[in-house]
A and B are shown apart, each in its own frame.
Chain A
Amino acid sequence: MVNLTAMTDILNDSQDSPEQGGKGAISAGRASMVPPFSPVLLGGLLLAPIPNVVLRPLLRAVMASVTKQHPGMFERLDSHADTIFLIDPVDLPIRFLLKADAEQPKLTIAREADVSRATAAIHGSLLALIDLLEGRVDGDALFFSRRLLIEGDTEAVVALRNAVDGEEIDIIDDILVRAGPLARPARRAAKVALRLARRAGADMAMLQDALLQPAMERIETQTAAVDHLHQSMARSGSSRRRRASKTPAVQG
C-alpha cells in the first residue's frame, strides 16, 4: 500500500492549501547552509566593521549602473515587482534586500529586523551568486548540488533567475562602465582578483575536504550502522505485529 503523504505525516507537517504552496517561510537567522572555507569568508571578516552608511551609496551606485546597462532585466519580472528578495551570500557577514520594481529597483543592506520583510530568499556563496548573476553557471545545477538554497516565494525566485540569466550581465564591466579613465585598469585588477579568489576558493575547498574526509567517513559508517539497526527493529516490530494478529484472542 502506497502512502503518498506518509513523509508529511512523519514530519508532523501542517497541511497548507495548494495555493499557499509556493509561499513558504524564510529562515529568521542565517540558513543552515555551511559557508565554504574560502577567501571570501576570510575577507568578509574585514567587511563586518564597515558601517552601512558607507556601503549604502555604493550599493545604490551599483544598482543604478546595472539597471542602466540592462533596462530589460526587470521587464521579465513584471508580476513580481512587489517581491522583496533576500540575497544571502552565506560567506559574507552582510545580506542584501532587492526590490525588483522596474520603475525603481532597490538594493539595500538587510538589517536583522528587515529580514522578515523578504518574501523570497536565495542563499549561496558569494562566488556562486556572482557566477549565477553572470550566467556562468546554471541555477538548477547549483540547486541540484546543494550549493544554492532557496526559500519563500519559489515562483519569484525562478522569475528572477530567468530574468538575470537572459541579460548577459558582467558585473565588473557594468559597475566600472562609469569609472572614466580608471575603468580599464580597475576592470583588469578586479578580474584578476576574482580569478584568484576562484582559484584560491577551489584550493581551500580541497584542503577542507582533505581535513574533513576521515571524520566524514566515520560519520557515514556510523549512520549506516544506525540505519541498519532501525530497519532491523522495524522488521522485527512488523513480524511481531503479524504474529499477534494471527494469534486467536483468548476467550475469557
Chain B
Amino acid sequence: MATTGAKAKPETILGDLELICPAGTPAALRAAVDAGAEAVYLGFRDETNARNFPGLNFSPEELADGLEYAHARYCMVFVAINTFPRAGAPEAWHRAIDCAADLGVDAVILADIGILDYAARQHPDLRLHLSVQASASNAEAIRFYHEAFGVRRVVLPRVLTVEDIAELNSQIPVETEVFAFGGMCPMAEGRCLLSSYVTGKSPNITGVCSPASHVRYEERGSEMVSRLGDFTINIFQQSDAAGYPTLCKGRFVADGRASYLFEAPTSLNVLPLLPELMAAGVSALKIEGRQRGRAYTAQVVAAFRAAIDACRRGEPIPEMPQLADVTEGQRETSGAYRRAWR
C-alpha cells in the first residue's frame, strides 16, 4: 500500500507481503518497529478496541510519540477502533476516529457500519481497513464495504483455506490481510457471545474476551485450576502447558471424557505457508498479540521479518524453533489455511 504518514521506503517491491505487528504499549511499538515491522497496530486505552485490557494501550499523547518514532523509521501505524458501540452511544468511537485522523495515522481498522460511515464522511482521506471483527469472508460482503465506505483492505476471518483466499482475491477490489501468528479465535469473529454469557462483558462491545477481572487461578496440590466466572475452564497437571482461560479453549467433560470441545490451547503459525500466501495474492500478514509483552513482539516480528525476506530472495524459510516458547499451550497449528481435517 502507499504510505500516507510514514516515510516512503527507499525500495518498494511490488507484491510484497507487509508485516503488521501488535503493540500494546509504546515500548512494544518501539520493539516492533526495531524488529522490522512494516506497520504497527494499536488501540486507545478504552473500550473502542478489542484488546481493552488493564494497563494496556495508548493515550493520544503516547500515540503521537509512537507515530513520530514509527514514521521516522519507514513504519506505518494503524489504529484499531474495532468494537461495536452500544446503540445510541457512539461518541467514544467518533472521538477515537477524530483523534486518530488528526494525529495522522496511516489507517484505522473498523468493524461497525455506523462507525465506518462516520469515518468515511468525516475523514474522506483516512484510509479504512475492515477489522476481522466484521467477519467479512465472502466477495459480496467485502464489495459492499468497499462500495459503501471506500474500505481498502479487509482483515480476513480465520476460517478460510489458502485456496479460498486466492479465489476471494480474484473477486474483490481490495487488499487482504491475514492472521499469521498468535492466538486463535475459533468462533464467528465479532459475533461470539461466550464471554458475555459467562462474565457479562463482551469482546465485541467492551473489548474484553474473558476479562481478567473474572479469571481466577487456584493451586490444588500439584494441579492448577483456571476458572472464568462460575466455570472451571481447565485443570492443568504440573507437566501440562497452560493456555488462556477462555471458554472456547476449555477442557470439558462429555460422555465421561475430558477434552477440548471447541479448540485446544494452540497458536497459529503460517511460516511454512508463506510462499502459498504470497501466491494467493495476500497483501499483509498480521501478528496477533497486543496483550503480549514486548519480548514476544520483538521475537515474533524478527522471526517473520527473516522469513519474509528469505521468501523474497527465493530462499527456503529458515527454521524458527524459538517461536515454540511463545506459543499458547506450547503448540502450533496452520489453522483453517490447511484444513487437514477435511
Contact = CB atoms under 8 A, between A and B. Distances in A.
A198 B302 CA distance: 23
Interface stretch (B67-75, B128-136, B151-159, B229-237): B229-237
B56 interface: yes
A5 B232 contact: yes
A203 to B, nearest CB: 19
B200 A13 contact: no
B27 interface: yes
Nearest to B218: A24
A118 B181 CA distance: 36
Interface string A15-32: 111110111110100011
Contacts of A139: 292-293
A149 B221 CA distance: 13
Contact of B292 (A138, A146, A150, A160): A138
Contacts of A144: 241-243, 265, 327-330
The binding surface of chain B is classed by DSSP as mixed
Q: Which bucket holds chain A's interface residue count?
A: 35 or more
Q: Which of B242, B250, B293 has the most CB of A within 10 A?
A: B293
B340 interface: no
A178 to B, nearest CB: 23
A15 B230 contact: yes
Interface in B197-228: 198-200, 211-222, 224-225, 227-228
Contacts of B24: 162, 165-166
B215 A22 contact: yes
A21 B254 contact: no
Given A11-B220, A138-B326, A145-B325, A18 B199 contact: yes
Interface string A138-162: 1111011110011100111111111
A159 B54 contact: yes
Nearest to A168: B27
A247 interface: no
B55 A3 contact: no
A134 to B, nearest CB: 9
Interface stretch (B78-86, B255-263, B279-287): B255-263
A3 B234 CA distance: 13
B291 interface: yes
A2 interface: yes
Interface in B249-275: 250-256, 258, 261, 265
Given A2-B254, A144-B265, 19 more contacts: A7-B235, A10-B253, A18-B214, A21-B215, A22-B213, A140-B291, A140-B328, A141-B295, A141-B296, A144-B330, A146-B236, A155-B211, A156-B54, A158-B55, A162-B24, A162-B25, A165-B27, A165-B28, A238-B256
7 contacts: A7-B252, A22-B216, A138-B293, A138-B296, A146-B242, A149-B224, A161-B293
